[in-house]
Amino acid sequence: MAYPGYGGYGGPMQGMQLQGMPMQGGPMGGPPQAGYPQNGGGYPGTFSAPPQQPLNDPMWGYFTTIAGQDGEIDAEELQRCLTQTGISGTYNPFSLETCRIMIAMLDRDMTGKLGFNEFKELFAALSSWKQNFMMFDQDRSGTVEPHEMTQSISAMGYRISPQALNAVIKRYSKAGRIYFDDYVACAVKLRALTESFRRRDQMQQGAVNFQYDDFILCTMSI
């Protein structure tokens, strides 16, 4: 069945190829058209796929410059690393809070840090979200308007009600506009919460039962 709200998880827009990042799954790099990912929801370089050696990977240089001896980066280190990579382009650098929720989105071992494979996965998602944002920020003001935000969320593959869209836009807009940093924060939370919901919706019916503590864990960890 079609899964309400089951989006493309920030994958590349259809027909877009990231350098060094082969597209997988369905449109926008999301899951296959038939439903959930066939490999159990694994991500490139984590869980379902064996770790890949970062030989000759240009992103390895950015990562190792910032990462500590444990080979992982926390939110402050991620903020510096993303600034060095220039992923935000002409837009303002990512805030520390946005970097925290980026880590929470992919921090499956709950260490509060990202390893290299998780960092690469995050970078691929950020590149896609930036492409999506730029499609609507045609005047390069670094912002999009509420109706453009609605179109952008739809372009990412999410199907949510007008009431939910209105709540999202109110949460992430400033003076009636959505800045790139807030846009990414919104995309991160949509992906993370949808993924948490999907894991519990084993029958793919668009409805689950939550225990209170589980609900708090899902929502407060992002």
Residue 132 pLDDT > 60, yes or no? yes
Helix (H/G/I), strand (E/B), else coil: 174: strand
Residue 11 pLDDT > 80, yes or no? no
Residue 91 pLDDT > 90, yes or no? no
Helices (H), the chain: 58-66, 75-85, 96-106, 116-136, 146-155, 162-172, 180-200, 212-220
Instruction: Work out the average pLDDT over 113-125.
Output: 92
| Gap between the Cα atoms of 3 and 155, Å rounded | 16
Residue 141 pLDDT > 60, yes or no? yes
- Looking at residue 163, what is its pLDDT? 95
Tell me which architecture the domain covering 56-219 has in CATH: Orthogonal Bundle (1.10)
Mean pLDDT over each residue of the chain, to the nearest integer = 78
- Name the range with the highest mean pLDDT among 9-18, 25-34, 134-143, 181-190: 181-190
CA distances from 131 to 112, 121, 210 (A): 27, 16, 35
- Looking at residue 30, what is its pLDDT? 35
- Looking at residue 140, what is its pLDDT? 83
Position of tokens 């939550």? 210
Instruction: Work out the average pLDDT over 186-191.
Output: 96
Residue 24 pLDDT > 80, yes or no? no
